[in-house]
Amino acid sequence: MKKRMRKPKTVIETACGHLAECPPARDIDGAPTTKNVIAAFFHCKKCLEQMPFGTSPREWAQLEVGFTEIGLQVYCKRHEINVMHIDFEGQTHPANLRP
C-alpha cells in the first residue's frame, strides 16, 4: 500500500517567539479559504451594554487580538479590560495567518 505524503506546512515565528503552523484554512466543504468563517464572535460585555441604538456590535467593537506568552488574548481597547485569554497549555495549534 502506497503511503500518502502530507503537504509541508508553512511555519512562522510570531512576535512573541511562538512558532505557528500555517496550513491553508478549509471551508466546510474542505476547499481552501481565507474568508470569514467565524461561527461565534467575542464581544466586550461593557461595550454591548453601552452600544448606541442602531449600531451593530461589529461597528462598535474596539478589540485587539494577539498572541501572548501562554496563548491568545482578546482585549477591549475602549474599556482597557480583558475579554478573554485562551491558555494553549503549552500546545501548538495550526493557524492560517495569510490574508
Distances 23 to 42, 76, 98 between C-alpha atoms, Å:
24, 29, 10
pTM over 0.75: no
Residue 12 pLDDT: 47
Kindly state the average pLDDT of the residues 2-27: 50
Mean pLDDT of the chain: 78
In a 10 Å sphere around its CB, with 0-12 CB exposed, 13-18 middle and 19+ buried, how is residue 27 labelled?
A: exposed
